Copies of this chain bind each other. A is one copy, B any other.
């Protein structure tokens, strides 16, 4: 559970509401149904037009990483790869066949399969890198959905505000309605700018970060598998893979 994500959302919304309250503003002034419909209907409409269904489905799935990121234990993976390189030296590559059934990640399964089949290191690398790129690209597309919504929301907020102002301007004869009308118009701006900067854009960027981490873990897996295929000694493999760890000073 990613506490920071939840804390971040609560903190920013709380700060806005507290600031508004201390300012003397009434909270009801910030709720406005027409502005809500314009900003979020418009933003969703633009996103539906921009993205194909497959990206939408994937977006909903990876959105959960915000709350519960896929944990990748690089230390454990290094230990595993070093262990495989030892088995391979002792029992040959075929000795790794049993490991395959124990793996759940299809990427690692495929990597082991290619290794056990005795392919050339170059073939293994090419095959796994195609897979890596396709997976990374698919997830980046899904993360981009949130980035695109973060781009559309503020401009659609401006449309809402201008529509409100037009309404106000056409009723200048009732000056007592002026202030209230302008206030309502401005709420659309807040919806657009706040949803983009406090939700859509940070979410898109956090997803990009998780995708980068997953890609690095897969790159490490490729480096390790290639090293086993080339028969490097386990000590060197460990030294090489240790470079992927972040937590060293």
Partner-B contacts on A (CB < 8 A): 2, 4-5, 7-16, 18-20, 22-26, 29-30, 33-35, 37-38, 40-42, 44-56, 66, 69, 106, 110, 113-114, 117, 119, 123, 126-128, 130-131, 134, 137-138, 141, 148, 152, 154-156, 158-160, 162-173, 176, 178-180, 182-184, 186-187, 189-190, 193-194, 196-199, 201-203, 205-206, 209-210, 212, 216, 223, 232, 236, 239-240, 242-246, 248-249
Contacts and interface: CB of A to CB of B under 8 A. Distances in A.
- Most B-side CB within 10 Å, residue of A45, A51, A201: A45
A233 to B, nearest CB: 10
A163 B190 contact: yes
Q: How many copies does the complex hold?
A: 5
A166 to B, nearest CB: 4
Contacts of A176: 173
A130 B244 contact: yes
